[in-house]
């Protein structure tokens, strides 16, 4: 419980006035022994204990009535969010999560989490006597003083965005602000839906957050206003990749839903430069991934568009945007320990199959890597001892920026390490036996099942030779003895894949089941997507911002452009001479939330209170002075009833006569 007028609580000392008066009144009488009253006092001794208890109750009612009146005048505040505070708060720092997931509506026609929180905070601040209100929003990260609680929902810095949030950074800014300004009694209010991607539980900065809260000059409480409600049947659409191949635009699309199950048909609308078309897709379960092919013409040197599903409980996750340019050449290089070998030529043809004019591949020796144009490469196939020095640094930077690298084992010894991975010894299968596949992950990696869930023939792999893989990556396919067959290391936004046998009949039958071709083509697509990434950006990222003298113009037709939100909303924008399709981060589609146990670990030792919004009508804070006034009335009535003398019908008793005689004397 906290109080708006805390200094008035000094008036609680007035509750001692009835006690003081009682003690003073006791000093007005002197006790004089008189033999004639000895027998009278003995007769009334039995009723003396009851009278004393009655007097104590009367005294307690008078003191409690005064105390309750003081509490009422001090205007006490109660509530799940603020009721545990103490003292008058002079400054409230509101850290507002404006990420796309905060736009989820608990039910049809109800306000979103963000809107509900803003209204509740506004009412709470007004009831607290309008202390100083400072806003730090997750989109801009700026510190802004709010002139009035009524203005809070009207500020552009509280509007909905398609961005993500970085909670550790926002709390650090709030702590730094309080440390620099030292405003006295203050509290930090954090409004968030506790989405795990925004809270980043594994971030090392949480230790600094805890230390910062502890080191503030004035004890500062952290109040977390959370919304963890999951709406039923909320569908979200995501664009995984978009790339132009010859005269076709390929869009990889994923639709997910937060709850519900079963089979449902979803209408999907496609818009390309203003021309719209629709089709229905069937979703069975929690996730659907499919590919859309849009034919282009030779005149389509560039273009843009959007994909949308019907509106539901979150309007911010129902659309995605794309943009594309002219045809890009698809280049790859094969680095082989023996450039003249059949294996090297076999890999080159797999990377540049006949009929694909824009595809090219060149075989190089490890000493010829200066010929590689890293800026235009889609895929590097490496079948040689692992690189070191400058070449290893170039290859690492290439993968980190989104390129793909595929490593096959060399026949020569290799002890080098790259991407935390190294080759071990060559192992031969026992006589008259094969290494056979044991298991593989069917929904991830270059050997994942097709769009129609048709599995790759990984279970048909037979091996005569293999080279062991050592590292801390993940196995996407394993031999029957649980050793890696297909191994992956993720670096930045790119992928490095290791296959520990060769497409050579002296090593394995991978050549005949065409798995090497599947891996190469899928990694080429992923690497080529890096070249088209110049047309894509994430809402709120540096790439979505204007540079120098660029002017922002929204060119898609999905929704109206709000200049106040700028780069924080998804859409297709022309920024000077650039065309960029801005989408919300993929992490905003995740249903994972921070649980209570994780929250306790992140803020261990800090003074924080979690208030979960259950969509009830309860206020964050309410005044309880009426309850104390009722308590005053109750204590006064009780005191009056205790003071009443019981009625008598007969002659006065000896005890009463004695009492009167004693008083008269």
CB 83 within 8 A of CB 2: yes
**Domain that includes residue 482, residue range:** 330-532
Domain assignment present for 572: yes
**418 phi and psi, to 5 degrees?**
-145, 140
Cα gap 152→123, rounded to integer Å:
11
Confidence of residue 432 (pLDDT cuts 50, 70, 90): confident
Taking residue 652's Cβ as centre, other Cβ atoms within 10 Å add up to 11
d(CA 624, CA 2): 10
Is the Cβ–Cβ distance between 257 and 236 less than 8 Å?
Answer: yes
**CATH code at position 318:** 2.60.40
85: in domain: no
Backbone angles phi, psi at 479, to 5 degrees: -75, 175
Question: Does residue 226 have a pLDDT over 90?
Answer: no
Angle (nearest 5°) at CA 592 between 587 and 596: 135
Q: What is the pLDDT of residue 618?
A: 44
| Beta-bridge partner residues of 382 | 335, 407
To the nearest whole number, what is the mean pLDDT of the chain?
84
Same domain, yes or no, for 73 and 189? no
Q: Which of 536, 537, 539, 493 is nearest to 99 (CA)?
A: 539
Q: What's the CATH number where 199 sits?
A: 3.40.50.410
Question: CB of 339 within 8 A of CB of 310?
Answer: no
Answer yes or no: is pLDDT of 210 > 80. Answer: yes
Is 50's pLDDT higher than 70?
A: no
Residue 298 forms part of a structural domain = yes
Contacts of 165 (CB under 8 A, 6+ apart): 97, 98, 99, 138, 192, 195, 198
Examine the domain organization and report whether 96 and 71 are in the same domain. no
Q: What confidence score (pLDDT) does residue 665 get?
A: 30
The domain total for the chain is: 4
Look at residue 480 in the predicted model and tell me its pLDDT: 92
Six-digit token string for 156: 């552009």
Half-sphere exposure of 661 (CA within 13 A, CB side): 13
Residues 239 and 157 in one domain: no
Q: Which long-range contacts (CB under 8 A, 24 or more apart) does 307-311 make?
A: 307/237, 307/239, 307/251, 307/253, 307/268, 307/269, 307/270, 307/271, 308/237, 308/268, 308/269, 308/271, 308/558, 309/235, 309/237, 309/255, 309/266, 309/267, 309/268, 309/269, 310/235, 310/266, 310/267
> Which residues pair with residue 161 across a beta bridge?
none
Higher-pLDDT residue of 72, 372: 372
pLDDT tens per residue, range 112-147: 999 999 988 888 888 777 789 999 999 999 999 999
Q: Do residue 334 and residue 438 come from a single domain?
A: yes
Cα 241 from Cα 75, distance rounded (Å) = 58
């Amino acid at each position: 419980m906290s109080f708006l007028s805390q200094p008035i609580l000094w008036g609680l000392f007035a509750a001692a006035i009835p006690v003081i008066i009682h003690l003073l009144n006791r000093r007005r009488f002197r006790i004089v022994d008189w033999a004639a009253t000895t027998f009278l006092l003995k007769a009334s001794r039995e009723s003396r204990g009851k009278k004393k208890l009655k007097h104590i109750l009367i005294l307690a009612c008078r003191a409690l009535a005064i105390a309750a009146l003081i509490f009422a005048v001090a205007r006490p505040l109660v509530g799940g969010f603020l009721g545990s505070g103490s003292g008058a708060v002079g400054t409230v720092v509101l850290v507002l999560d404006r990420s796309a997931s905060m736009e989820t509506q608990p039910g049809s026609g109800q306000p979103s989490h963000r809107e509900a929180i803003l209204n509740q905070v506004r009412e709470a601040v007004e009831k607290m006597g309008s202390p100083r209100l400072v806003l730090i929003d997750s989109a801009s990260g700026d510190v802004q003083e709010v002139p009035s609680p009524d203005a809070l929902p009207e500020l552009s810095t509280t509007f909905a965005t398609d961005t993500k949030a970085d909670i550790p950074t926002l709390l650090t800014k709030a702590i730094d602000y309080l440390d620099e300004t030292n405003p006295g009694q203050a509290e930090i209010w954090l409004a968030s839906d506790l989405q795990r991607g925004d809270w980043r539980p594994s971030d090392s900065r949480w230790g600094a957050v805890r230390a910062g809260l502890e080191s503030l000059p004035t004890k500062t409480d952290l109040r977390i206003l959370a919304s963890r409600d999951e709406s039923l049947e909320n569908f979200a659409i995501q664009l995984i990749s978009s790339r132009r191949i010859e005269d076709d635009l390929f869009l990889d699309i994923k639709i997910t839903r937060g709850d519900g199950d079963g089979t449902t048909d979803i209408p999907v609308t496609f818009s390309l430069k203003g021309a719209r078309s629709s089709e229905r897709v069937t979703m069975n379960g929690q996730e659907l991934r499919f590919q859309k092919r849009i034919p282009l013409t030779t005149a389509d040197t560039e273009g843009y568009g959007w994909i949308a599903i019907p509106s539901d409980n979150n309007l911010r996750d129902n659309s995605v945007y794309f943009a594309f340019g002219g045809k890009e050449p698809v280049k790859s290089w094969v680095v082989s320990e023996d450039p003249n070998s059949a294996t090297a030529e076999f890999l080159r043809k797999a990377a540049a199959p006949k009929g694909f004019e824009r595809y090219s591949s060149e075989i190089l020796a490890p000493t010829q890597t200066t010929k590689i144009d890293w800026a235009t490469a889609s895929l590097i196939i490496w079948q040689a001892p692992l690189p070191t020095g400058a070449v290893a640094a170039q290859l690492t930077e290439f993968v980190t920026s989104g390129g793909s690298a595929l490593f096959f084992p060399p026949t020569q010894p290799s002890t080098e390490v790259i991407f935390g991975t190294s080759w071990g010894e060559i192992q031969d299968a026992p006589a008259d036996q094969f290494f056979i596949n044991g298991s593989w992950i069917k929904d991830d990696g270059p050997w994942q099942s097709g769009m129609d869930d048709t599995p790759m023939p990984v279970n048909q792999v037979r091996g005569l030779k293999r080279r062991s893989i050592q590292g801390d990556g993940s196995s996407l396919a394993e031999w029957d003895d649980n050793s890696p067959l297909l191994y992956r290391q993720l670096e930045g936004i790119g992928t490095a894949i290791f296959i520990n046998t060769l497409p050579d009949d002296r090593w394995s039958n991978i050549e005949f089941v065409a798995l090497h071709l599947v891996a190469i083509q899928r990694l080429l697509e992923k690497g080529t997507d890096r070249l088209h990434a110049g047309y894509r950006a994430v809402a709120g990222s540096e790439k979505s911002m204007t540079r120098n003298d660029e002017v922002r113009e929204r060119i898609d037709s999905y929704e109206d452009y709000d200049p106040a939100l700028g780069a924080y909303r998804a859409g297709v924008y022309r920024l000077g001479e650039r065309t960029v399709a801005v989408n919300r981060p993929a992490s905003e589609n995740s249903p994972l939330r921070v649980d209570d146990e994780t929250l306790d670990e992140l803020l261990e030792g800090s003074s924080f209170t979690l208030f979960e919004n259950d969509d009830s009508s309860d206020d964050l804070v309410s005044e309880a002075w009426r309850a104390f006034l009722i308590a005053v009335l109750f204590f006064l009535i009780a005191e009056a009833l205790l003071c009443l003398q019981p009625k008598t019908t007969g002659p006065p008793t000896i005890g009463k006569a004695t009492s009167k005689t004693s008083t008269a004397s």
